[in-house]
């Protein structure tokens, strides 16, 4: 099987869709000549031209809103919001408009737009360039929210998101762009709303997203050495959530850890924990653990950033607490 | 016809306003659009315009708070008569009120069964939900366990380590009661009242009892064999008893009857009830058509019914239509007892514990697993001979299950 | 609504009676809405466009088939002028399934996609970027269609206004941005919300072509709209159409307008009523007007009956239409 980096996988999904479908086009800040601040659209201007690979001014509301307007007319635009933090600027259009247009029109409209963005800590980007805000968007009825963590997943899911008739907020993680992974020869669409089991286990289920999928797999290896068998599951789609898979796994292992890079408090993990508690109550042998960032904005100094953000050892500690015994 | 001046709704959510003062007097001419009175709402005091031209014939409400839609005055031609209704309520206001839909009331919650862990003298028992479930299923008292989980929490492993109790023939919850010094007055639950009423009624029925001892060797073998054949289902002696009684009822149709006021009702099928001690009280869920089910199927149905009885989730068709009841107190080590009839059923079988006894047979002394069962019958519907023949068949089926085929 | 094969750059004499009738229909509709609201029959809050009829009718009559509009929270006039029947509009205000948005939207979320009405928007300026995007789609697909946005003077201050017009001009998309300048943003007069007096300057700041017209003169509105649409349609870029108009009523039904000098509204009604202006020009006598009035009033009353007899959605219809 061929190997692609996460970045290349995103580009491959976009390019393949644009080759096959005149209605697909991309717009965003600095995506044309520069190829995007994360290099995702590198080379696409040359292939597709400036009509379909559009630089926009720094105006997230118009960027998001124009994408919505074009989608309302039947095109399938993919708008790139440079940093997840700037989703706050686009939010009026994403939340008040895209999410609700179909509903308010009584079903007359579809808005097949994708908002691609990336976030995450690492290498001191500072508090306004590193947030993980998925919890805000999974809370809005009308939006779908996807967060893939591997090249294969990001390619297959971006494809499905482009062809989903609903507005999709598509999160990427900045530290994952360089990771390489095997992908099928041809793009295989991955259904929205289906989780993926990365590693099977018997003692505890770790449900993780984004960068924390990889941290959890590392933690699982460590735990194995101590005789703890860990199952790692990536929901991949945050809304709609594959409750069946997640609950099914916890019913098998009787213990759960939910891990994400976003701030723990009031985060996406809190909802997952609640779903598990409710549906697997009689199967739980330990309280559900949550791993996430501490409740603070992201600091600049590397030692502080390291402290705030979760890593494999935090997942491992949580795993151990679920199987813990007296005194541990 | 004079036009009614009604208090208008001037804003979303406005329900009433306060008339401060009228700017026209009765008898004054009024033009549509002219300011008519001053109104105080939540937000502001404002002038309200007349919606019609003519003469202000009557001011019905001089001042004060008025609901939206209420008639406060009349404009018309000079000399016109004015008809005032007693409470100037208008259809509009009523409609506006009716528009607000009352949220549907949540249905009253079923009473929850008490959990197995009772308040111990030290406070609440810490146990994981999984541990609690396993303890409940196995009839293990959590208070008797020490937890090895964090903070002494009882975890599943701690419960699993306890030797499982001998499988009770009909599952029940152990209700540990905290010792207390005062006399407690516990109000009657509706289940308790029902039990009291129905069984008092049953007690007035002329009944007789027949007792017989049964050699359970073959029956026990049958249970073991069935368990091997059906590893996914927990098969018990009660399931075998249910099947056997069902078969026997079909052979002795005169037993599958009920006394009604002016007739005997004969039933085509064996609807066998099984007495269950649920936390809320005695309930008798019914295995419908038991003669048509295999032992494994009966075990499945029974397991489901007992589970739901424990969770107080039995439906009315689980409890209705029974023609015969089996009450098994064997797991409580009762040797023999007499069960009270379960009205309107005509008979009930009381099953005791199976124990090894020394039994003379053909001159030899054998040690056999013996069980004593007592059949209570409603003499209005069933005669002694009918009951005796039925009981003989049941015994025969238990001692030689092949006869039931 | 007139539908001619080739639109002229000015309204024809025989069309003008029809235009008068249309404006009168909107006027009576809005008055009826006010009446029904005060009677407590209409949920939510509503904003009527009494006094601004010529803007809606003049612009919408100038559109070609395939052109689309996006409206504001003050949407009834635009919606009727774009072709939605009074029945469907009234039914929507009553929250019935027969309403144009099937009861899901109400006064501020009126959609009639099949008729090219991309919807009213309750967020000031919320629909402006959609018009830029729609015009972009027309441009990319090579379609001879124009996207038209209506908005008020209050909206010229918000971020989406600046971003949407900036982007539209940058990409030279076929859009027309119609400013219905009634000089009031809710209770704030223009002098208090804008540091400049002539809002067309805002368009010029983007380098966008700006046209002006008297919003109370439907013929003038039509002519200016035709010019604007032609310009946009021929690929010359978007146009800012500044219409000088008057809001006779308050911002919302029930608004006591404590902030507005009492005589202002009255004087404006007498001097700048678009219906009166056209009527005088056409020399329509009292009898003829009464006849037209009776016709449109009948339509309006019928729409109330239609709405009242309509079907309430089932409560759990609320969970439908969230996702495609």
Q: Summarize pLDDT for B226-242 with one digit per residue, the tens.
A: 998 988 888 999 999 99
> Which of A67, A103, A144 has its CB closest to that of C321?
A103
Q: Is B333's pLDDT higher than 60?
A: yes
pLDDT for position B86: 56
The answer to whether residue C9 sits within a structural domain is yes
The answer to whether residue A189 sits within a structural domain is no
Q: pLDDT band at residue B112, thresholds of 50, 70 and 90?
A: very low
Task: Please indicate, yes or no, whether residues A308 and A215 belong to a single structural domain of this protein.
Answer: yes
Task: Please indicate, yes or no, whether residues A109 and A219 belong to a single structural domain of this protein.
Answer: no
A264: containing domain: 196-322
The shortest C-alpha distance from B324 to chain C (Å) reads: 45
Task: Please indicate, yes or no, whether residues A173 and A233 belong to a single structural domain of this protein.
Answer: no
The shortest C-alpha distance from A251 to chain B (Å) reads: 10
Q: What is the CATH number of the domain that holds C8?
A: 3.40.50.970
Q: Is B117's pLDDT higher than 70?
A: no
- Would you say B30 and B36 are in contact if contact means Cβ atoms under 8 Å apart? yes
B21 vs C172: which has the higher pLDDT: C172
CA distance A324 to A317: 10
Task: Please indicate, yes or no, whether residues A219 and A90 belong to a single structural domain of this protein.
Answer: no
Task: Please indicate, yes or no, whether residues A242 and A177 belong to a single structural domain of this protein.
Answer: no
> Which of B151, B152, B156 has its CB closest to that of A285?
B156
Chain A contact probe: residue of B129, B137, B154 with most A CBs at under 10 A: B129
Residue in A closest to B147 by C-alpha:
A326
Using a pLDDT cut of 90, give the percent of chain C over it. 85
Q: What is the CATH number of the domain that holds A230?
A: 3.40.50.920
pLDDT digits (tens, 9 = 90+) for A64-105: 999 999 999 999 999 999 999 999 999 999 999 999 999 999
Tokens of A232: 């790692």
Q: Is A29's pLDDT higher than 90?
A: yes
B218, B251, B379, B380: which is the annotated catalytic residue?
B379
Q: pLDDT band at residue B168, thresholds of 50, 70 and 90?
A: very low
Size of interface B-C (CB pairs under 8 A): 41
pLDDT for position C158: 95
Domain boundary among A150, A182, A214: A182
The answer to whether residue C11 sits within a structural domain is yes
The answer to whether residue A152 sits within a structural domain is yes
C286: containing domain: 2-307
Using a pLDDT cut of 90, give the percent of chain A over it. 97
CA distance C254 to B161: 74
Q: Does B161 touch chain A (CB under 8 A)?
A: no
CA distance B165 to A218: 43
The answer to whether residue A188 sits within a structural domain is no
The answer to whether residue C315 sits within a structural domain is no
pLDDT digits (tens, 9 = 90+) for C9-23: 999 988 999 999 999
CA distance A133 to A173: 12
Using a pLDDT cut of 90, give the percent of chain B over it. 49
Tokens of A202: 């018997």
Residue A224 in 3-state DSSP? helix
Beta strands in B165-304 (DSSP E): 207-215, 257-260, 263-266, 272-274, 276-278, 281-283, 286-287
Domain boundary among A145, A160, A182: A182
Task: Please indicate, yes or no, whether residues A293 and A215 belong to a single structural domain of this protein.
Answer: yes
pLDDT digits (tens, 9 = 90+) for B187-215: 777 677 777 887 887 788 899 999 999 99
Q: Specify whether B379 is catalytic.
A: yes
Task: Please indicate, yes or no, whether residues A248 and A273 belong to a single structural domain of this protein.
Answer: yes
CA distance A131 to A178: 19
Contact C45 B14 (CB under 8 A): no
CA distance B143 to A156: 53
Look at strands A230-234 and A196-199 and give their pairing.
Answer: antiparallel
Mean pLDDT score, C35-40: 94
Q: pLDDT band at residue A267, thresholds of 50, 70 and 90?
A: very high
Neighbours of chain A (3+ CB pairs under 8 A): B, C
Task: Please indicate, yes or no, whether residues A134 and A68 belong to a single structural domain of this protein.
Answer: yes
Annotated catalytic sites of A, by residue?
60, 129
Using CA atoms, how far residue B168 sits from B141, B307, B353, C74, in Å, is 15, 14, 11, 74
Q: pLDDT band at residue B114, thresholds of 50, 70 and 90?
A: very low
> Which of C103, C129, C159 has its CB closest to that of A68?
C129
Q: Is A50's pLDDT higher than 50?
A: yes
Residues of C in contact with B46 (CB under 8 A): 256, 258
The answer to whether residue C322 sits within a structural domain is no
The answer to whether residue A264 sits within a structural domain is yes
The answer to whether residue A233 sits within a structural domain is yes
Residue in A closest to C95 by C-alpha:
A106
The answer to whether residue A190 sits within a structural domain is no
Residue whose token pair is 């294969």? A152
pLDDT for position B171: 40
Terminal Cα-to-Cα distance of chain C (whole angstroms): 32
The answer to whether residue A66 sits within a structural domain is yes
> Which of A254, A321, A325 has its CB closest to that of B130?
A254
The answer to whether residue C317 sits within a structural domain is no
Of A214-223, A307-316, B315-324, which range is least confident? B315-324
| Count helices and strands in chain A by DSSP H and E runs | 12, 14
The shortest C-alpha distance from B125 to chain A (Å) reads: 15
Q: Does A109 touch chain C (CB under 8 A)?
A: yes
* DSSP assignment letter at B26: T
Residues of B in contact with A286 (CB under 8 A): 128, 149, 155
Q: pLDDT band at residue B97, thresholds of 50, 70 and 90?
A: very low
Task: Please indicate, yes or no, whether residues A136 and A225 belong to a single structural domain of this protein.
Answer: no
Question: Who's near A213: CB < 8 A, 6+ residues apart?
Answer: A149, A150, A198, A232, A234
The answer to whether residue C313 sits within a structural domain is no
Cα dihedral value A28, A33, A35, A38, nearest 10: -80
Helix (H) or strand (E) holding B331: none
Q: Is B74's pLDDT higher than 60?
A: yes
The answer to whether residue C216 sits within a structural domain is yes
Mean pLDDT score, C85-109: 96
Q: At what angle do helices B237-251 and B384-399 cross, to 10 degrees?
A: 130
The shortest C-alpha distance from C262 to chain A (Å) reads: 36
ipTM above threshold 0.85 = yes
Of A5-9, A172-176, B327-331, which range is least confident? B327-331
Question: Who's near C274: CB < 8 A, 6+ residues apart?
Answer: C23, C51, C52, C53, C54, C215, C216, C217, C218
> Which of B130, B151, B152 has its CB closest to that of A285?
B130
Q: Does B155 touch chain A (CB under 8 A)?
A: yes
Q: pLDDT band at residue A189, thresholds of 50, 70 and 90?
A: very high
Candidates C205, C253, C310, C216; CA nearest to C46 is C253
pTM confidence score: 0.70
pLDDT digits (tens, 9 = 90+) for C128-170: 999 999 999 999 999 999 999 999 999 999 999 999 999 999 9
> Is the alpha carbon torsion for B287, B289, B291, B294 positive or negative?
negative
pLDDT for position B46: 81
Contact B128 A321 (CB under 8 A): no
Chain A contact probe: residue of B127, B134, B150 with most A CBs at under 10 A: B150
Contact B12 C254 (CB under 8 A): yes
Helix (H) or strand (E) holding A188: none
The answer to whether residue A328 sits within a structural domain is no
Q: Is B92's pLDDT higher than 80?
A: no
Q: How many domains does chain A have?
A: 2
Q: Is B43's pLDDT higher than 70?
A: no
Domain boundary among A182, A213, A231: A182
Task: Please indicate, yes or no, whether residues A222 and A315 belong to a single structural domain of this protein.
Answer: yes
Q: How many domains does chain C have?
A: 1
Cα dihedral value C71, C77, C82, C85, nearest 10: 130
Question: Who's near B101: CB < 8 A, 6+ residues apart?
Answer: none
CA distance A46 to A54: 12
Task: Please indicate, yes or no, whether residues A290 and A148 belong to a single structural domain of this protein.
Answer: no
Contact A65 C163 (CB under 8 A): yes
The answer to whether residue C314 sits within a structural domain is no
Task: Please indicate, yes or no, whether residues A121 and A203 belong to a single structural domain of this protein.
Answer: no
């Amino acid at each position: 099987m061929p190997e692609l980096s996460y970045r290349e996988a995103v580009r491959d999904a976009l390019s393949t869709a644009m080759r096959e479908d005149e209605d697909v086009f991309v717009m965003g800040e600095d995506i044309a000549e520069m190829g995007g601040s994360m290099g995702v659209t590198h080379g696409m201007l040359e292939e597709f031209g400036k009509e379909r690979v559009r630089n926009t001014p720094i105006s997230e509301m118009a960027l998001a809103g124009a994408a919505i307007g074009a989608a309302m007319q039947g095109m399938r635009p993919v708008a790139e919001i440079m940093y997840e933090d700037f989703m706050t600027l686009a939010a009026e259009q994403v939340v008040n408009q895209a999410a609700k247009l179909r509903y308010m029109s009584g079903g007359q409209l579809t808005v097949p737009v994708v908002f691609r963005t990336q976030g995450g800590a690492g290498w001191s980007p500072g508090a306004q360039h590193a947030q993980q805000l998925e919890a805000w968007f999974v809370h809005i009825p009308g939006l779908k929210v996807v967060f893939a963590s591997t090249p294969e997943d990001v390619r297959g899911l971006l494809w499905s998101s482009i062809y989903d008739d609903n507005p999709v907020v598509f999160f990427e993680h900045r530290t994952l762009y360089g990771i390489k992974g095997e992908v099928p020869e041809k793009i295989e669409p991955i259904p929205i709303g289906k989780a993926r089991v990365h590693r099977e286990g018997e003692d505890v289920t770790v449900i993780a997203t984004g960068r924390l999928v990889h941290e959890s797999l590392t933690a699982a290896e460590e735990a194995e050495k101590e005789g703890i068998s860990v199952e790692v599951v990536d929901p991949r789609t945050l809304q709609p959530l594959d409750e069946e898979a997640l609950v099914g796994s916890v019913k098998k292992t009787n213990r759960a850890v939910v891990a994400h890079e976003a701030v723990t408090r009031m985060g996406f993990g809190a909802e997952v924990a609640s779903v598990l508690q409710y549906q697997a109550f009689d199967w739980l042998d330990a309280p559900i653990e949550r791993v996430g960032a501490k409740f603070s904005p992201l600091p600049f100094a590397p030692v502080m950033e390291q402290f705030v953000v979760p890593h494999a050892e935090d997942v491992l500690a949580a795993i151990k607490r679920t199987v813990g015994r007296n005194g541990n | 016809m004079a036009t009614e001046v009604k208090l208008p709704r001037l804003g979303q959510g406005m329900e009433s306003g306060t008339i401060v003062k009228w700017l026209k007097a009765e008898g004054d001419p009024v033009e549509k659009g002219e300011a008519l009175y001053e109104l105080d709402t939540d937000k502001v005091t404002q002038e309200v315009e007349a919606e019609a031209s003519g003469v202000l014939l009557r001011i019905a409400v001089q001042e004060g708070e008025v609901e939206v839609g209420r008639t406060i005055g009349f404009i018309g031609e000079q000399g016109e008569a004015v008809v005032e209704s007693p409470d100037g309520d208008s259809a509009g206001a009523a409609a506006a009120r009716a528009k607000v839909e009352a949220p549907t009331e949540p249905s009253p919650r079923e009473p929850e069964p008490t959990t197995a862990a009772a308040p111990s003298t030290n406070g609440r028992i810490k146990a994981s939900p999984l541990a609690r479930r396993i303890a409940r299923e196995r009839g293990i008292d959590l208070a008797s366990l020490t937890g090895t989980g964090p903070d002494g929490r009882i975890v599943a492993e701690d419960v699993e380590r306890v030797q499982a109790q001998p499988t009770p023939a009909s599952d029940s919850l152990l209700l540990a009661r905290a010792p207390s010094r005062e006399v407690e007055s516990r109000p009657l639950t509706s289940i308790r009242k029902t039990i009291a009423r129905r069984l008092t009624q049953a007690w007035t029925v002329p009944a007789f009892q027949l007792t017989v001892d049964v050699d359970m060797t073959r029956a026990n073998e049958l249970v073991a064999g069935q368990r091997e054949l059906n590893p996914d289902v927990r098969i018990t002696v009660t399931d075998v008893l249910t099947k056997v009684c069902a078969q026997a009822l079909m052979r002795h149709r005169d037993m599958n009857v009920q006394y009604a006021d002016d007739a005997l009702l004969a039933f085509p099928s064996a609807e066998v009830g099984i007495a269950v001690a649920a936390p809320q009280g005695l309930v008798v869920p019914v295995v419908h058509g038991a003669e048509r089910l295999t032992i494994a199927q009966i075990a499945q149905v029974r397991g489901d019914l007992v589970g739901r009885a424990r969770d107080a989730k039995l439906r009315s068709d689980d409890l209705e239509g029974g023609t015969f009841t089996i009450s098994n107190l064997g797991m409580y080590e009762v040797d023999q007892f007499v069960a009270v009839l379960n009205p309107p059923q005509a008979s009930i079988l009381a099953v005791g514990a199976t124990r090894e006894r020394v039994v003379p047979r053909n001159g030899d002394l054998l040690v056999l697993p013996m069980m004593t069962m007592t059949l209570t019958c409603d003499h209005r519907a069933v005669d002694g001979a009918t009951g005796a023949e039925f009981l003989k068949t049941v015994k025969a089926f238990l001692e030689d299950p092949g006869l039931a085929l | 609504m007139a539908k001619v094969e080739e639109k002229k750059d000015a309204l024809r004499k025989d069309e003008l009676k029809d235009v008068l009738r249309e404006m009168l229909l909107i006027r009576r509709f809005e008055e009826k809405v006010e009446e029904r609201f005060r009677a407590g029959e209409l949920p939510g809050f509503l904003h009527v466009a009494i006094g601004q009829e010529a803007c809606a009718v003049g612009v919408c009559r100038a559109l070609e088939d395939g052109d689309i509009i996006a409206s504001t929270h003050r949407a009834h006039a635009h919606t009727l002028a774009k072709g939605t029947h009074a029945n469907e509009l009234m039914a929507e205000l009553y929250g019935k399934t027969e309403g144009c948005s099937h009861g899901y939207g109400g006064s501020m979320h009126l959609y009639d996609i099949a008729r090219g009405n991309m919807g009213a928007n309750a967020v000031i300026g919320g629909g402006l970027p959609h018009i830029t995007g729609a015009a972009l789609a027309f441009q990319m697909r090579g379609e001879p269609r124009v996207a038209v946005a209506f908005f008020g003077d209050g909206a010229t201050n918000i971020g989406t206004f600046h971003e949407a017009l900036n982007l539209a001009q940058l990409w030279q998309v076929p859009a027309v941005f119609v400013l219905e300048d009634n000089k009031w943003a809710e209770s704030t007069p223009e002098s208090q919300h804008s540091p400049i007096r002539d809002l067309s300057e805002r368009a010029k700041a983007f380098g966008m072509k700006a046209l002006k017209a008297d919003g109370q003169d439907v013929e003038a509105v039509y002519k200016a709209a035709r010019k604007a649409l032609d310009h946009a349609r021929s690929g010359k870029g978007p146009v800012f159409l500044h219409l000088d108009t008057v809001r006779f009523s308050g911002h919302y039904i029930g608004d006591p307008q404590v902030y507005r000098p009492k005589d202002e509204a009255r004087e404006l009604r007498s001097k700048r009523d678009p219906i009166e202006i056209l009527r005088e020009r056409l020399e329509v006598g009292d009898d003829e007007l009464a006849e037209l009035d009776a016709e449109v009033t009948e339509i309006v009353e019928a729409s109330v009956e239609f709405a009242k007899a309509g079907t309430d959605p089932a409560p759990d219809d609320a969970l439908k239409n969230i996702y495609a």
